[in-house]
Structure 1
Amino acid sequence: MTYATADLNDEGAASKSTLASTVYHQLRDDLLHGVLETESKLRVEWVVSRYGAGASPVREALNRLASEGLLGRHDQRGFFIMPLSAAELEELTRTRCWLEERALREAIANRTHEWEEQLVLALHRLSRTPRRLPEDPLAISSDATNPAPTNPDWEKLHRAFHRALISACRSRWLVGFCDQLADQAYRYRQMARGGAGVQRDELGEHRLIAERALDGNADGAVQALLDHYRLTTALCMERFSQSGDPKAASGKARRRL
């Protein structure tokens, strides 16, 4: 009986963990894609209803997202969605540039044939995947009033390229911090997507970064990487300016972007 009870408890704990993980991934995806209103309070009851899980797994998922900085938390008042702001973006970009410069320099200094092959493959896969889906009006028009979402396959490969770039830095902590900042940057990057009149050779930017890294040109690779990030930030700042709200963009405005 004791063993049977223990097995049941283990199964219950595993089920709770699975539910918490499911809620975490679903809510995280919605946060990153701007589906939910910024600065809105996330009541446990509302999350339970929306994602179909119990209060305990929901609280676990909310705490995990708060630890990653995707949610804010008020003492005794629950969780809220972190707002988007120009000041936050500036700080995020500075910090990301600091960390990824170090990671990239370390990766180039400790380069291996395997790292080179992974980077070449990541760039090749990215180059073979369209940035936008065929039905996206921006693929054939400069009208950016209501663009369709970016090709999700491109997004995955884009993330894989940047991860491959720094993967040889010999620090899982540094890679983890860079991943966390990349998540935060993704929320802002959606703002810059398809800005009217924007001419940008994203594949050329990625190719330049990779070529300089593969050549062992650390200074050149770092400069190309930082230019890449700063251009995205500049485009986001333009969107803040266009919205007329320097502090944050509303969820409704982000969905139009």
Structure 2
Amino acid sequence: MASMRELKGRIGSVNSSQKITGAMKMISSAKLRKVQSALEHLMPFRNQLQNTINNLLGADSEYQSPLTEQRPVHRVAFVVFGSDEGLCGAFNVSLFKFLLEAINRTNNELGTKTEYIVYPVGKKILSSVSKMKDVEIADVSYLNSKSGADAVKRLTDELTNRFLSHEIDRVELLYFHFKSIGSQALDSRILLPVSVADLAGGELLSHAKPYIYEPDSETIFRTVIPLYVRSNLHETWLESRTSEQAARIMAMQMANDNAKKLLDSLQLEYNKLRQQNITAELLDILGGSVQ
């Protein structure tokens, strides 16, 4: 059995840890609100792009873009959105398992001769992905939790250029979709090639015919599609960051709850031992008085 001094030291240590996890929970809550705000500010841009595309697709003409080209798939790129920091539960472990499942799924779909390129966004997921064999690991160190829109644009341009030059035939995003602070779901989406079904994300506008396009609808379509791809990648990156902070909040909350239970248990054990010592001293005193 531990002595009173040891129990007192453990109680102090757990108290200190509880203060740290509480502070980290507050920091993650502030970061979550900041990223959620950035995600909300992105949506008007996304919605306007979608309205423009719906107007174009609602006309009688058929539009083609190099980014919508469907071709035989020989090389697949997976962009995995992990975290730079830990203490967020099973966030990165679940993403790595999801990546392995995606590779197995693609092998079953396309065959085992398919080549893979992995873009690991985040130091933690990079440490797991770097151990994989027969997979090309791309450098995405310029994109992290402190990056801005320029870094997202750089990654989008790199993926787009490699797709257009036929170095990559498909780009798939793997990430956590943010539902609420207590719920984040693993999700994936095809970034390239862009499918017409994804483009028509909203209801096609039947009154698009009277629109006058300047210089012409085909040029506008080819201009809007790269913006659509960039906004998709930016939205996914923000969703991943939001999910990361939500996962960290839940992990710190669970740590706080466990610390409280441990403190109650240690305090009870400390009180019992203290009472036993007091009882033993009283018995010694009473025994001495009788003698």
Q: TM-score range by the shorter chain?
A: under 0.3
Q: Which has the higher contact order (CA 8 A, sep 6+)?
A: 2
Structure holding more strand per residue: 2
- TM-score of the superposed pair, with normalisation by structure 2: 0.23
Larger radius of gyration: 2
Structure holding more helix per residue: 1
